[in-house]
A = this chain, B = another copy of it.
Amino acid sequence: MKKVTTIAGDGVGKEVMEAGLTILESLDLNYDFIESKAGFECFQNCGTTIPEETIKNAKKSAATLFGAITSTPSEKSPIITLRKELDVFANLRPIKTFEGVNSLFNNIDFLIIRENTEGLYSQIESFEKEEENKKNSKITKTIAKRVITKNASTKICEFAYKTAIKNNRKKITCVHKENILKKTDGIFKESFYKVAEKYSAKHPDIKANDYYIDATAMYLITKPQEFDIIVTSNLYGDILSDEGAGLVGGLGLSPSANIGDKNGLFEPVHGSAPDIEGKGLANPIAMILSISMMLEFLKEDFYSKQINKAVENVLKSKKIATPDLGGNSKTSDVTMAIKKELESI
C-alpha cells in the first residue's frame, strides 16, 4: 500500500490535521497514513524540531501532509528543512474567491507559482568583520546572500508553462525587480522569456508578460482579475501569496502544494495560530483544499475534484462557517458538513 506521511505539528495544526484525516478516511482510498513528528512540541520532547525519522518517512512516502508548527526562534524551520530535503522546487498557491464568502472582490482565480529552493531562502547569512567608519565607530554589518541560478529559474518557469497547459490557463506573469536586481532578477526574467519563447510556437494562446514586484503588490488590489498564473522567486511568492489570501477571505481558505520531481508536500498556508488553539475554531478548509491538491498529485483526480466541489457547496450554502469567515461554527461542524456533502454529490 502506498504511504502518506502526516505531520500535524503544533496548535491548530493538530486540529486541522484531524479534520483532514476525517475527510481522507471517508474516501475509498488505499493509503497508509504514517504519523510523524515536527515542530515546537517535538523540539521540547526530543530536542529537535524535525527528527531524522520524519524526513526519512517523508522521503519514502508518495506524499506528505503538513499541518502547522509554532516556530522555535533558535532553530531552523522544519517546513523549510522539509522543502529542501524533499527537493520540492515549486510552491503552488491558488488564490480564488468562493461564492458565499464575503470578500472585497469577485471572480478572482489565479495561481501563484513560487520558486521554492533558493533566493533569500538560501539561508546563507553572515556577520562581517566589524569595520570602522569615518567617525571611527564600529559598524555591525550582516549580509544575506540572495542566490538565483539559471537552472532553478528555468525549471520553475518550465513548470509554470506545463501547469498552464494542463490547467488551461492563458497568461503567465513573471514577477521580479530587475530594475534594481539587474543580475539576480535579470537572470530570472531572462530565463522566463526564454521558456516563453520555447512554448510560444505550440501554445500561442498562452500570453507572457512581466511586472515589478512592487507594481504587482498594487495590481493585486487594483486589477486582481487580470492575473492567471504568477511565477516568481521565493520571497516575492511568499509575500504575494499572503496578500492574495487577504484578497479572498484570509488564510483559512488558502491551501498550498510543494511539488518536486519525486515528492509532494501539502500544507495550509496558515500557521499554528496560538490565539485560537484548543478551541476547535480553526477553519479546516485550507487543509481540506490542500488534501485536494495532494490527491491531484497522487493522480486521484476524481476525489480531488469531489473535495473542491464539496467545499464550494458548503461555502455557497453559507450555513456553516468558522469565525474567520464571520460564522460561529466549529472546526468539526465544517468538517462534517463537507463530509456529508461528499457523500451526497
Q: Is A222 an interface residue (CB 8 A)?
A: yes
Contact call A142/B77, Cβ cutoff below 8 A: no
Q: Contacts of A247 on B, CB cut-off 8 Å?
A: 221
Q: Quick check: is A141 within 8 A (CB to CB) of the other chain?
A: yes
A201 contacts across to B, CB distance below 8 A: none
With known contacts A139-B150, A144-B184, A183-B127, A218–B246 Cβ distance under 8 A: yes
Central interface residue in A126, A144, A187, A238, by most chain B CB within 10 Å: A144
Contact of A243 among B125, B127, B144, B243 (CB under 8 A): B243
Assess A151 versus B140: contact at CB under 8 Å? Given A214-B242, A221-B246, A243-B217.
Answer: yes
Identify the stretch in A21-29, A173-181, A255-263, A327-335 within 8 Å (CB) of chain B at 4 or more residues.
Answer: A173-181
For window 23-73 of A, CB contacts with B under 8 Å fall at 71
Is B120 in contact with A181, judged by CB distance below 8 angstroms? yes
Pick from B125, B139, B250: contact of A183, CB below 8 A. Answer: B125
Cβ–Cβ contact B246 & A144, under 8 A: no
Q: Does A104 contact B (CB under 8 A)?
A: yes
Which partner residue on chain B sits nearest A126 by CB separation? B183
Contact between B246 and A143, CB atoms less than 8 A apart: no
- Interface residues of chain A, those whose CB is within 8 Å of chain B, are 71, 77, 80, 104, 120-121, 123, 125-127, 133, 137, 139-151, 177, 179-184, 186-187, 213-215, 217-222, 235, 238-243, 245-247, 250-251
* Pairwise interchain contact A180-B120, C-beta atoms closer than 8 A: yes
| Residues in B neighbouring A104, C-beta threshold 8 A | 104, 221
- Residues in B with CB closer than 8 Å to A184 are 125, 142-144
Residue of B nearest to A235 (CB): B177
Smallest CB gap from A223: residue in B = B246
B145, A149: Cβ atoms under 8 Å? no
20 contacts between A and B (CB under 8 A): A104-B221, A121-B180, A125-B183, A126-B183, A139-B150, A142-B183, A143-B145, A143-B148, A144-B148, A144-B183, A145-B146, A213-B235, A214-B238, A214-B242, A217-B239, A218-B242, A218-B246, A220-B243, A220-B246, A221-B246
Beta-carbon contact of B141 and A147 below 8 Å: yes
**Cα–Cα distance between A11 and B243 once the two chains are bound (Å):** 31
For A140, give its contact among B145, B187, B246 (CB under 8 Å).
B187
- CA A238 – CA B185 in complex, angstroms? 16
Contacting pair B238 A222 (CB below 8 A): no
Question: Bound complex: CA of A144 vs CA of B140, how far in Å?
Answer: 19
- A146 proximity list for chain B (CB < 8 A): 120, 143-146
A123 cross-chain contacts in B, Cβ below 8 A:
180
Bound-state CA distance A141–B133 (Å) is 32
Q: With both chains docked as a complex, state the minimum distance between the C-beta of A169 and any C-beta of chain B, in angstroms.
A: 23
Q: Which of B183, B214, B222 contacts A239 (CB 8 A)?
A: B214
A292 → chain B closest CB, angstroms: 22
Residues of B within 8 A of A235 (CB): 177, 180, 213
In whole angstroms, what is the CA distance A127 to B235 when docked? Answer: 20
